[in-house]
Structure 1
Amino acid sequence: MEKQTPPEQDTIFDEAELLGDGYDKHVRRARNTIFVVASVQFVFGLVLGFSGPEESKWISIGIMSIVAGIFAGLGFWASKKPYQAILIALILFCGLILLDVIFDPASIFKGIILKIFIIVYLIMGVNNARQTLRIKQALGKE
């Protein structure tokens, strides 16, 4: 009989053991947060578009739909490249908040609790996705 040998590994640790559920949980939560942002952008874009002036209604709806589509795309991309997708979503979300503040300074306080939760979840997701990426690179998986 031939003796079968298991394939050689560079490390005794399995990728699943190193990454565990703790990292995946925050990345999934951040990914879900990106989808929530996409939904909120779309719904409020429709509401604001239809309640705004007639001449700018379709422009507002179009812009908000594009922004919502970008966030939805980032949410889907986060399943393949979580670090990059979550980081871009965080930068885009903070940029939108900054634009709101530039055009309407009082908007910083509108929905402040939701904004804080979104930013916190995205930051936790970015941090854990970055650590996951580093571990995968160290294992030669990325």
Structure 2
Amino acid sequence: MSEIEEKERAKRIAQEVMRKNDGNFAKKAIKSTKLTLFILGGLFFIWAVVYGVVLADDLISLIFYGVMGVIYILLAFWTESKPFAAILTALIIYGTLILLFALIDPMTLFRGIILKAAIIASLIRGIMQARKIPQEFKVDTLDSELMQ
């Protein structure tokens, strides 16, 4: 093998290692977002009990918030197989809920704004990292080149 071929091979191997490291970072970010979805589902369950039973004694609120909790927990499990679709769906649902509640009572936009911002930031970070996952599994040139 000539020196130029060796440099090209080394460059390809280095790029593959960097791509794998990006993939590992992406997996960690998605795992963090998955935890956010579980927490969000739990918060909806807690709110279902607090608001639906204790504060308002409202069966519709209990069912609504309970269903939202189930949806977010199911989305968290879905991140295992389709992280991009699951996290994007979660962000769309969350944003829609914020807008709907703001139409009912505009002050809800400002209540819990730090928590809302943290949840949205986590979901956006998860989406950005989930986009990197499919490239990781296309071709594993590092392993195939080392085997030769």
**Shorter-normalised TM range:** 0.7 to 0.9
TM-score, normalised to structure 2's length? Answer: 0.77
Structure-1 residue corresponding to 2:25: 22
- Determine what percentage of the aligned residue pairs are the same residue: 33
The alignment status of 1:139 with 2:139, answered yes or no, reads yes
Larger Rg computed on CA atoms: 2
Q: Distance in 1 between matches of 2:65 and 2:127?
A: 25
Instruction: State the match for 2:47 in structure 1.
Output: 44
Quick one: which amino acid aligns to residue 37 of structure 2?
I
Whether contact under 8 Å (1:35, 1:72) holds in the other structure is: yes
Preserved contact between residue 86 and residue 126 of structure 1 (Cα < 8 Å): yes
What amino acid is the match of 2:133?
Answer: T
Runs ≥4 residues deviating over 2 A: 11-14, 16-21, 133-136
- The equivalent residue for 2:115 is 114
The residue identity in structure 2 corresponding to 1:100 is F
User: For this pair of structures, how many residues does the alignment match?
Assistant: 126
Measured on the aligned residues, the alpha-carbon RMSD in Å equals 2.1
Q: CA deviation at 1:42?
A: 0.9
Residues 61-105 of structure 1: CA deviation (Å, up to 9, x unaligned)? 011111110100000011111111011011111111111101010
Tell me how far apart the structure 2 counterparts of residues 139 and 31 of structure 1 sit (CA, whole Å).
26
Q: Which runs of 5+ in 2 are unaligned?
A: 1-11, 141-148
Is the contact between residue 83 and residue 133 of structure 1 (CA under 8 Å) also seen in structure 2?
no
Q: Indicate whether 1:31 and 2:34 are aligned.
A: yes
TM-score, normalization: structure 1? 0.80
| Residue correspondence of structure 1 range 1-142 to structure 2 within 5 A | 13=16, 17=20, 19-50=22-53, 51-52=55-56, 54=57, 57-136=58-137, 138-139=138-139
Which stretches in structure 1 are left out of the alignment for 5+ residues? 1-10
List per-residue Cα deviations over 1:22-54 (Å, max 9, x = no partner). 1111111111111111011110121111211x4
Structure 1: distance between partners of 2:75 and 2:95 = 15
**Secondary structure at the counterpart of residue 131 of structure 2:** helix
Residue 8 (structure 1) aligns with: none
